[in-house]
Amino acid sequence: MTELNRQMPEPATTPTGFKRRAHPPSLRSLLALWLPGGLAALAVLLPVFYLLLRASQAGAEAWALLLRPATLQTLGRTVLLAGSVTLASMLLAVPLAWLTARTDLPGRRFWALTSALPLVIPSYVGAYLLVSTLGPRGMLQGWLEDWLGVTRLPEIYGFPGALFILTILSYPFILLSVRAALLRIDPALEEAARSLGLSAWQVFWRVVLPQLRPAIAAGGMLVALYVVRDFGAVAIMRYNTFTRVIYLQYSATFDRTAAAVLALALVALTLALLGVETWTRGRARYHASEASHPRPPAILPLGRWRWPAVLFCAAVAFAAVLMPALNLLYWLGRGLAAGEQVGALWLETRNSIIAAALAAGATLAAALPVAALSVRYRGRASRLIERLTYSAFALPGIVIALALVFFGANYARPFYQTLPLLTLAYVILFVPEAVGAIRTSLLQVHPSMEEAARGLGRSPLAVFRSITLPLVRPGVASGAALVFLTAMKELPATLILAPIGFKTLATGVWGAVSEAFFARAAAPALLIVLVSSVPMALLLLRDRPTGAPERPDPAPTSLG
């Protein structure tokens, strides 16, 4: 059993074509992987170049801003919130992923869908709904005042409120990554462990969980970066983080130079987070020891834990999906009863779908070569490209948008205020989501399967298209869904870079909420949830282990 638990180090070399030591890339690999991967990294560097240009104009007073006690306190609050939300999200996501992918949980496909739906809720909408429901003068307090005479509820602002709302909105990043990994894990190791007398729980802790480390690390990285760059939730919850300070520098003082200095500090924080993720990833390999035809994993019966597991899933779904949905319906009904005109939303819905679909396609095209380089061509160059793709994710959307406005107005005027420039902003913002999901699936594909195709005369590009890409389909689908969902609700980049007259559901929600027309905001917010739920439903209702036959789930195995 010792050998089953040990993470095997990767050899110095693998079969021909997958050497770990540095070697000159072929022309085909240069064109197919290195060139597009390098272009993706350069695109991500555009906001960094903008920040460096602005920061170079900063005087000593602007740089002294970094060492002020208030700035250091803001940094500490940001790190505390990001770490707490990531840990809380792991505690929610890993059990949910395992229950919905590997057990006989009643209605597990329904719970798989509902547990991923919080991704479609914008953070500023979720935070507002939380305040309007549980705030000191929210709906709950109004009902309790009528029934019990309660005149005020405890404050939910600050760290507790920000921790709660960001956790229930961001844990699906880890859930989707871990669930895709669970559906790709070779069941041979689990069967061997069971044959040696280990129980189902022991197999999970000693065999399955170690293999999920890359998926947990990738999802946790996305959660941490999501929290670091969020503005809407922390602003409504009155919890000062780096993004709020940067936003105030831009909007209140109009001091773009000082804001650029603070944003560079945020990039440094992102690089530190990437270093932690790289350390937790390790050098172990997670694909099967031998190439084999993937088989669907065994479905484990929960036994006496069956209904407690349902209660756990229902509690998460209530807090993350049902309560916000009921709140939106309440505000919509209240507005309609008061004569509020919702208006025609077809044009905004169409624009949102077009922009999100373009974002998903372009981001996948940029993420595929980056993920392939980081797994199959390990080295300093590939590692640098991979890390660069993450560097802009922690930047506030307003920084990326203003950077592209600067470059568009000065160096690419034909693309200024066009849909391609908005799509580029989405790629820069969301390429880490796609890279993380694809990389997790690619780690589980044994290189010898690709090498066998190379031995039959296939080119590297043909092998990747016909062998690798179908095997990493769960990761590709997860990445596309993540990008589509986040692009649907992205606000700052859309507000600044969208073509004139190009209104989306997200801008409609923000315009109504910023003017306190909450009933008017309910309809487009509900449409964001409904439209974004379609790709999520198709993904989660159709997913199965790659290579699994089209048949019902295998019979449950014994827990004994």
Q: How far apart are the first and last CA of the chain?
A: 18
Distance (Å, rounded) from C-alpha 8 to C-alpha 382? 22
Name which of 467, 454, 4 is nearest 208 in CA terms. Answer: 4
Name which of 367, 436, 535 is nearest 222 in CA terms. Answer: 436
CB atoms within 10 A of CB 330: 17
Q: What pLDDT score was predicted for residue 26?
A: 56
Q: What pLDDT score was predicted for residue 341?
A: 64
Query: What's the alpha-carbon Rg for the chain, to the nearest Å?
Result: 24
Name which of 356, 515, 345, 487 is nearest 429 in CA terms. Answer: 487
Q: Average pLDDT, stretch 371-382? A: 80
Within 13 Å, how many C-alpha atoms sit on residue 414's CB side?
Answer: 0
| Locus of tokens 């779908």 | 353
pTM across the whole model: 0.73
Q: Average pLDDT, stretch 162-188? A: 86
Q: What pLDDT score was predicted for residue 242?
A: 83
Name which of 35, 527, 86, 113 is nearest 316 in CA terms. Answer: 113
Question: Is residue 15 packed enough to be buried (19+ CB in 10 Å), middle (13-18) or exposed (0-12)?
Answer: middle
Distance (Å, rounded) from C-alpha 242 to C-alpha 256? 15
Tell me what percent of the residues of the chain surpass a pLDDT of 70.
Answer: 77
CB atoms within 10 A of CB 430: 27
Question: pLDDT tens, 395-429?
Answer: 777 788 888 888 888 888 888 888 999 999 999 98
Name which of 441, 394, 294, 512 is nearest 51 in CA terms. Answer: 394
Between the alpha carbon of residue 85 and those of residues 80, 167, 217, 399, the distances in Å are 9, 5, 14, 23
Between the alpha carbon of residue 395 and those of residues 14, 54, 68, 250, 402, the distances in Å are 37, 15, 21, 13, 11
- Are 173 and 223 within 8 A, CB to CB? yes
Give the angle subtended at the CA of 234 by the CAs of 232 and 237, to the nearest 5°. Answer: 110
Q: What pLDDT score was predicted for residue 89?
A: 95
Q: What sign for the dihedral angle of Cα 314, 320, 323, 328?
A: negative
- Are 455 and 447 within 8 A, CB to CB? no
Q: Residue 210: is its pLDDT beyond 50?
A: yes
Q: Average pLDDT, stretch 445-449? A: 71
Q: Average pLDDT, stretch 502-527? A: 80
Work out the widest C-alpha separation in the chain, in whole angstroms: 79
Number of H helices, E strands in the chain: 30, 0
Q: Residue 482: is its pLDDT beyond 60?
A: yes
Q: Residue 42: is its pLDDT beyond 80?
A: yes
Distance (Å, rounded) from C-alpha 120 to C-alpha 113? 12
Q: Average pLDDT, stretch 5-12? A: 39
Question: pLDDT tens, 68-91?
Answer: 888 888 889 999 999 999 999 999
Between the alpha carbon of residue 517 and those of residues 333, 340, 348, 352, 523, the distances in Å are 13, 9, 18, 21, 11
Q: What pLDDT score was predicted for residue 393?
A: 67
Question: pLDDT tens, 185-198?
Answer: 777 777 777 777 77
| Locus of tokens 């996501």 | 93
Q: Which residues contact 387 (CB under 8 A, 6 or more apart)?
A: 271, 274, 278
Q: Please list the helix, strand and coil fractions of the chain in percent, rounded to the nearest 5, in that order.
A: 75, 0, 25
Distance (Å, rounded) from C-alpha 526 to C-alpha 524? 5
Q: What pLDDT score was predicted for residue 426?
A: 93
- Look at 62-76, 92-106, 450-464 and tell me which has the smallest mean pLDDT: 450-464
- Are 467 and 453 within 8 A, CB to CB? yes
CB atoms within 10 A of CB 293: 7
Question: pLDDT tens, 515-543?
Answer: 767 677 788 888 888 887 777 766 665 55
CB atoms within 10 A of CB 6: 10
Distance (Å, rounded) from C-alpha 511 to C-alpha 492? 12
